[in-house]
Structure 1
Amino acid sequence: MNILNRIVSDVHLMFRRPAREQYGALCYRLKKKRPAVEILLITSRDTGRWVIPKGWPMDGRSASAAAAREAWEEAGVKGTIREEAIGSYRYMKGLPGGLKVDCRVRVFPLVVGDICKDFPEKGERRAAWVDCAEAAARVQEPGLKTLILAFEREILGASAMAVKNGTSDA
């Protein structure tokens, strides 16, 4: 039986494809009264899981611009997106017909400046602003949990440094 498991494993590796690339926006805002970061989570359309806005590459758009576009289409938010990803995570995306593909999502922080009343996927998802600990608890992907908590430490550290230096642009 051990040799059979080895053969199945080797065949699986032979046909394994590289992960498909997606781009996601970690939409956030800073609380004014006390230093705290809130993350915008949305539900997926198919399973209702808590996720961040994300999608496939778009012709003519950079990775960060595609992530910003997904934030508007899926959550109705606009703002300033960082050009450099803060990291990535992986998950298995279910496709029509039951097929699942391995996806790697590069994540770009987007500080929300505007919440739109009308956007393409309005009414198709729920949205919630939650603190980083709650966001990490709600999402299923371990890599996304880690990114959210690391991002909170980065932003709060930058805010503390700005206050210490007498500036307010964190």
Structure 2
Amino acid sequence: MLLFSRPVQQVATLPFVPIDDGFEVLLITSRGGGRWLLPKGWPPGGRDLVQTARREAEEEAGVVGRLHETPVGSYSYDKEMRQGYRVHCLVVVFPLLVEMHLLSWLEQHERQRRWGKLADVAAMVAHRNLAHLLSGLAADDGARLRAAMTAIDGAAVAESPRSAY
């Protein structure tokens, strides 16, 4: 199987909410599969990474909220394409403070969603490098998510262009 050596960029969203003892994170299943992952996708030409992250959260996970423009990290993995080749993907992860769950969304019949404590979700995800990123976020007791929340309450936020759903 052919593997392209140059990494291809993808964008993911880390949907989260604060709880009494830390944070909960939303995971979704892969299309038609049982692998747990974050909402992610390819940034189309001309669209910036932040807008792509917001779109993926809404389409794949059915959540909207306030997205921070600074990533909380990144991870890499090899993706097998339908055409029979593999690409090495570098995924940049943006935090999304969830404000609303949609009752109906684009991929609701193709995916499941599940909330879990930040400290627990690393054991659930399909990709080893994503698990490492989530473990790192939990190891610092959610400091990067707290920093994102502080910034979201301030000015470094990419506000959602829609005001009502």
* Length-normalised TM-score, structure 1: 0.77
**Deviant stretches of 4+, over 4 Å:** 156-159
Question: Structure 1 CA distance, aligned partners of 2:123 and 2:4?
Answer: 31
Q: Give unpaired runs (5+ residues) of structure 2.
A: 147-152, 154-165
* Per-residue deviation, 1:154: 5.4
2:161 aligned partner: none
* Cα contact 1:79–1:114 (8 A) shared by 2: yes
Q: Which has the larger radius of gyration?
A: 1
* Per-residue deviation, 1:16: 4.5
Quick one: which amino acid aligns to residue 128 of structure 1? R
Question: Structure 2 CA distance, aligned partners of 1:155 and 1:72?
Answer: 23
Q: 1:63 aligns with which of 49, 55, 67?
A: 49
Quick one: which amino acid aligns to residue 84 of structure 2? G
When you count strand as a share of all residues, which structure comes out higher?
Answer: 2
1:8 aligned partner: none
Change (3 A) 1:50 1:158: closer
* Cα contact 1:35–1:156 (8 A) shared by 2: no
Q: 2:13 aligns with which of 25, 35, 46?
A: 25
2:156 aligned with 1:155, yes or no?
no
* Per-residue deviation, 1:35: 2.4
Change (3 A) 1:158 1:98: closer
* Cα contact 2:32–2:111 (8 A) shared by 1: no
SS at match of 1:18: strand
SS at match of 1:61: coil
Residues paired across the two proteins, number: 147
2:121 aligned partner: 135
1:4 aligned partner: none
Quick one: which amino acid aligns to residue 142 of structure 2? I
Quick one: which amino acid aligns to residue 79 of structure 1? G
* Cα contact 1:37–1:156 (8 A) shared by 2: no
Q: Give unpaired runs (5+ residues) of structure 1.
A: 1-11, 160-168
* Length-normalised TM-score, structure 2: 0.79
SS at match of 1:124: coil
